[in-house]
């Protein structure tokens, strides 16, 4: 009895592995939970990496060293920061609305993390595939503004309130332009034989069928749509140069001025998770999601093999970088442990790289690798923008949103619709309509 | 088992009662909270639970639109306005007026409706009306709205958008003295 129960559990767990679907579509509880935990862990690790990378890269852009004290090259700085935040006193201001103040960070985090259940890391590497995937992502990520607004209001203080008002005005404005850009990409999916789709996995598969990333389709229409989205997504995530809700020089820290310790770190977590989420929307819609670069120009078994080495090579390169820097560490005995730690970290990275060369793993991992690499490029761009552009004034921000991005988006949508129209639609609808119109004019005059 | 879906839904009654319970509690909180921001948050909860109910009815598109428009769009603007109102004054105001007669009549009518629906049960709802499978819901709505042959709701859709345009122009006229 007991062994048969165990056997059935094992069968249930194994039954998913042969199906080439996402666990949500296959309806497998066990693997769905595993995927949710994996994605959650992956995003959290990504946030930790971003914390270190942002400080380091910004510092180098500004000709500073950045964190250098905690661990070699400040590698342990995020962990020290996290510990510090957890140990800090949790302050709720006396005049604050305690309940709403308490809920607000959780709303932001829920919205930021929930969207990841439809992010397609590969044809079968997503928690689930929804018919309304992109709609779900846009909808749920737009809920995060609720958390920001309630946080600012509940603090019962002037700077947070102004920050929250700015944030909601900004996010509502840029959502419109963002939606228009997304619709033009969705329109491009409808050119495939199976018709259009809103599913995230479906959108990437359509790009595979049409053999073009949508950023290059109908040049320059796809590129313009991508540019609109790339600008709007920075405003949506309240990042520099559109970080007016938390403009330090004007509003101290904006909507989270009154937050401290763990609650503040929840906002931090949500900000970076949301950045990754919108980046993955951009990657999915325009940059071919998990597809590797140049699948047409460099096709064939040899190129497939060469491109499948990239994940392992990347990790080997990172490991090598660690060894190189370990050899450059000061020779003073005080740095002995740090040097050994860096070398050990390099060894771990190199080992991961070697594991990624194993044929079975190599094939399974490469789509996740390409997706993550593209998202990582966007994360670097975020840091680059922050190091490059000065902050916009609020009226300039609104002008860009309503007077530049929105009209461009509308024109783009119409142009895409005209270019993408199928020939039979021209023959059946458009031409008769204009003929009828001409006929009407002739009768009047 | 429903032939329309590849995987039969799991624990349907549980999720139905859970979502309905959240909606009812949210609705009650909306009218009983004195603080308007608390009411708004309760309303958002109710609206999200409603989106969940739409998902259970195999209408994912409606659920997505519910989240984007109501929970994400309209409620944000609601909160935006409410935050600028002085909370202290609204806290002192009387929340309910004493319209007992109308209240009892309305409650009796609604209660009667509920009881009759509960008594008649299934016979009120047609069993075999066409239901689109989950994977085609969005496409079916698109075809009903815009297709040149099956798009029977196009006119209604355009008229509704015209109504919104009128509202936008009205707002601009009221807000701007000189245009």
A149 Cβ under 8 Å from any chain B Cβ: yes
Rg (C-alpha) for chain A, rounded Å, is 25
Mean pLDDT to the nearest integer, B145-171: 85
Whether the pLDDT of residue B121 is over 60: the answer is yes
Contact A22, A201 (CB under 8 A): yes
Q: Which residue has the higher pLDDT, B43 or A97?
A: B43
B148 Cβ under 8 Å from any chain A Cβ: yes
Closest approach of B98 to chain A, Cα-based (Å): 30
Closest approach of A144 to chain B, Cα-based (Å): 8
**ipTM metric:** 0.78
- Please give the full DSSP string across A147-206, using - where no structure is assigned: HHHHHHHHTTSHHHHHHHHHHHHHHHHHHHHHHHHHHHHHHHHTTSTT-----HHHHHHH
Mean pLDDT to the nearest integer, A36-48: 90
**How many residues does the structure list for chain B?**
179
Question: Does the beta-carbon distance from A135 to B71 stay under 8 Å?
Answer: no
pLDDT at A393: 84
What's the token pair of residue A305? 């093999």
Mean pLDDT to the nearest integer, A423-431: 76
Question: Does the beta-carbon distance from A135 to B83 stay under 8 Å?
Answer: no
Contacts of A175 in chain B (CB under 8 A): 72-73
Cis peptide before A241 (omega within 30 of 0): yes
Round to whole Å and give the CA distance between A111 and A270.
8
Whether the pLDDT of residue A411 is over 90: the answer is yes
Question: Does the beta-carbon distance from B79 to A198 stay under 8 Å?
Answer: no
Contacts of B61 in chain A (CB under 8 A): 131-132, 135
A193 Cβ under 8 Å from any chain B Cβ: no
**pLDDT single digits (tens) A365-376:** 888 889 999 999
Whether the pLDDT of residue A171 is over 70: the answer is yes
B37-72: b (≥16 Cβ within 10 Å) or e: bbbbbbbbbbbbbbbbbbbeebbbbbbbbbbbebbb
What's the token pair of residue A375? 């998202």
Nearest Cα residue to A185 out of A194, A197, A171 = A197
Contacts of A131 in chain B (CB under 8 A): 60-61, 134-138
Whether the pLDDT of residue B72 is over 90: the answer is no
Q: Which residue has the tokens 């309209």?
A: B74
First to last CA, chain A: 90
Mean pLDDT to the nearest integer, A97-103: 84
Whether the pLDDT of residue A199 is over 90: the answer is no
Round to whole Å and give the CA distance between A343 and A356.
20
A428 Cβ under 8 Å from any chain B Cβ: yes
Round to whole Å and give the CA distance between A246 and A253.
5
pLDDT class for B130, splitting at 50, 70, 90?
Answer: low
Question: Does the beta-carbon distance from B72 to A142 stay under 8 Å?
Answer: yes
SS3 call for A124: coil
**pLDDT single digits (tens) B46-66:** 999 999 888 888 788 888 888
pLDDT at B111: 94
Mean pLDDT of chain A: 85
Mean pLDDT to the nearest integer, A419-430: 76
What's the token pair of residue A193? 């034989």
pLDDT class for B1, splitting at 50, 70, 90?
Answer: very low
**pLDDT single digits (tens) A260-312:** 878 888 888 898 999 999 999 999 999 888 888 887 777 778 888 888 888 88
pLDDT class for A380, splitting at 50, 70, 90?
Answer: very high
Mean pLDDT to the nearest integer, A82-111: 85
- Please give the full DSSP string across chain B, using - where no structure is assigned: --TT-SS--SSHHHHHHHHHHHHHHHHHHHHH-SSHHHHHHHHHHHHHHHHHHHHHTT-HHHHHHIIIIIIIIIHHHHHHHHHTS-HHHHHHS------HHHHHHHHHHHHHHHHHHHHHGGGGS-SS-----GGGHHHHHHHHHH-TTT-TTHHHHHHHHHHHHHHHHHHHHHH-S--
A373 Cβ under 8 Å from any chain B Cβ: no
Mean pLDDT to the nearest integer, B166-177: 85
Round to whole Å and give the CA distance between A262 and A266.
6
pLDDT at B126: 66
Taking the whole predicted model, whether its pTM rises above 0.95 is answered as no
pLDDT at A404: 92
Please enumerate in sequence order all residues whose Cβ is within 8 A of that of B41, keeping only pairs 6 or more positions apart, or say none.
A100, A103, A150
pLDDT class for A378, splitting at 50, 70, 90?
Answer: very high
B67 Cβ under 8 Å from any chain A Cβ: yes
Q: What are phi and psi of A181, to 5 degrees?
A: -65, -40
Round to whole Å and give the CA distance between A378 and A346.
25
pLDDT at B3: 44
Please report, rounded to a whole number, the percentage of residues in chain A having pLDDT higher than 70: 99
Sign of CA dihedral A54, A38, B64, A372: positive
Please enumerate in sequence order all residues whose Cβ is within 8 A of that of A140, keeping only pairs 6 or more positions apart, or say none.
A111, A114, A115, B67
Whether the pLDDT of residue B6 is over 60: the answer is no
Whether the pLDDT of residue A229 is over 90: the answer is yes
Round to whole Å and give the CA distance between A293 and A347.
29
The highest-confidence range among A90-99, A358-367, B25-34, by mean pLDDT, is: B25-34
Other CB atoms within a 10 A radius of the CB of residue A437 amount to: 10
pLDDT at A243: 82
Whether the pLDDT of residue A193 is over 50: the answer is yes
pLDDT at B22: 94
- CB nearest to B7's CB, from A27, A164, A172: A27
Taking phi over 0 as left and psi of -120 to 50 as alpha, with beta for the rest, B129 belongs to beta
Q: Which of B8, B37, B76, B82 to mutate to test the interface with A (most CBs of A within 10 A)?
A: B76
Q: What are phi and psi of B93, to 5 degrees?
A: -70, 150
Question: Does the beta-carbon distance from B137 to A26 stay under 8 Å?
Answer: no
Question: Does the beta-carbon distance from B72 to A429 stay under 8 Å?
Answer: no
Mean pLDDT to the nearest integer, A382-402: 88
Mean pLDDT to the nearest integer, B137-166: 84
Contact A102, A258 (CB under 8 A): no
Q: Which residue has the tokens 């549980």?
A: B14
Contacts of A152 in chain B (CB under 8 A): 83
Q: Which helix (H) or strand (E) holds A419?
A: helix A406-420
Closest approach of B145 to chain A, Cα-based (Å): 15
Round to whole Å and give the CA distance between A85 and A369.
32
pLDDT at B165: 92
Nearest Cα residue to B64 out of A412, A181, A115, A238 = A115
In the A/B pair of chains, how many CB contacts fall below 8 A? 87
Contact B56, B12 (CB under 8 A): yes
The highest-confidence range among A381-385, A389-393, A429-433, by mean pLDDT, is: A381-385
Please enumerate in sequence order all residues whose Cβ is within 8 A of that of A406, keeping only pairs 6 or more positions apart, or say none.
A176, A177, A180
Question: Does the beta-carbon distance from B76 to A429 stay under 8 Å?
Answer: no
């Amino acid at each position: 009895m007991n062994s048969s129960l165990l056997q059935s559990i094992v069968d249930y767990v194994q039954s998913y592995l042969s199906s080439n679907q996402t666990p949500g579509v296959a309806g497998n509880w066990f693997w769905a939970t595993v995927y949710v935990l994996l994605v959650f862990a992956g995003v959290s690790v990504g946030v930790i990496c971003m914390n270190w990378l942002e400080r380091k890269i910004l510092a180098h852009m500004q000709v500073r060293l950045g964190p250098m004290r905690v661990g070699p090259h400040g590698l342990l700085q995020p962990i020290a920061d996290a510990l510090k935040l957890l140990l800090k006193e949790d302050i709720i201001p006396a005049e604050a609305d305690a309940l709403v103040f308490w809920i607000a960070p959780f709303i932001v985090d829920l919205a930021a993390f929930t969207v990841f259940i439809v992010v397609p890391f590969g044809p079968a590497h997503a928690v689930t595939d929804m018919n309304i995937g992109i709609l779900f992502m846009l909808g749920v990520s737009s809920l995060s503004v609720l958390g920001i607004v309630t946080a600012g209001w509940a603090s019962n203080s002037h700077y947070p309130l102004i920050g929250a008002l700015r944030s909601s005005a900004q996010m509502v404005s840029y959502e419109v332009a963002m939606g228009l850009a997304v619709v033009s990409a969705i329109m491009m999916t409808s050119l495939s034989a199976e018709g259009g789709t809103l599913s995230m996995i479906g959108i990437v598969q359509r790009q595979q069928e049409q053999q073009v990333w949508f950023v290059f389709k109908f040049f320059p229409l796809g590129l313009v749509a991508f540019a609109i989205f790339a600008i709007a997504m920075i405003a949506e995530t309240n990042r520099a140069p559109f970080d007016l809700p938390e403009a330090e020089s004007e509003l101290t820290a904006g909507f989270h001025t009154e937050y401290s310790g763990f609650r503040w770190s929840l906002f931090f977590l949500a900000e970076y998770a949301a950045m990754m989420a919108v980046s993955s929307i951009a990657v999915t819609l325009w940059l071919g999601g998990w597809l590797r670069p140049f699948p047409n120009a460099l096709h064939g078994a040899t190129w497939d093999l060469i491109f499948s080495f990239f994940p392992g090579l990347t990790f080997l390169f990172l490991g090598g970088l660690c060894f190189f820097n370990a050899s450059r560490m000061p020779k003073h005995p005080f740095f002995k442990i740090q040097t050994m730690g860096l070398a050990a970290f390099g060894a771990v990275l190199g080992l991961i790289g070697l594991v990624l060369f194993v044929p079975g793993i190599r094939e399974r991992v490469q789509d996740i690798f390409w997706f993550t690499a593209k998202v990582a490029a966007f994360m670097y761009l975020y840091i680059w923008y922050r190091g490059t552009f000065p902050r916009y004034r609020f009226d300039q921000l609104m002008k860009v949103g309503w007077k530049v991005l929105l009209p461009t988006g509308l024109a783009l949508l119409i142009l895409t619709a005209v270019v993408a129209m199928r020939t039979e639609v021209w023959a059946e609808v458009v031409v008769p309509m204009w003929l009828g119109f001409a006929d009407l004019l002739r009768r009047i005059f | 088992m429903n032939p329309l879906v590849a995987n039969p839904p799991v624990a349907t009654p549980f999720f139905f009662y859970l979502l309905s319970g959240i909606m009812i509690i949210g609705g009650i909180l909306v009218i009983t909270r004195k603080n308007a921001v608390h009411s708004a948050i309760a309303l958002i909860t109710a609206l999200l639970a409603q989106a969940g109910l739409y998902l259970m009815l195999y209408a994912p598109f409606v659920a997505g639109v519910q989240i984007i428009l109501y929970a994400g769009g309209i409620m944000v603007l609601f909160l935006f306005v409410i935050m600028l109102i002085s909370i202290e004054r609204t806290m002192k105001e009387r929340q309910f007026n004493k319209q007992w007669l109308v209240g009892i009549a309305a409650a009796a009518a609604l209660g009667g409706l509920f009881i009759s629906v509960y008594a008649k049960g299934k016979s009120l709802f047609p069993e075999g009306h066409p239901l689109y499978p989950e994977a085609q819901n969005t496409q079916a709505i698109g075809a009903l709205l815009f297709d040149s042959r099956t798009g029977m709701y196009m006119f209604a859709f355009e008229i509704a958008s015209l109504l919104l345009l009128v509202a936008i122009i009205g707002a601009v006229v009221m807000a701007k003295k000189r245009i």
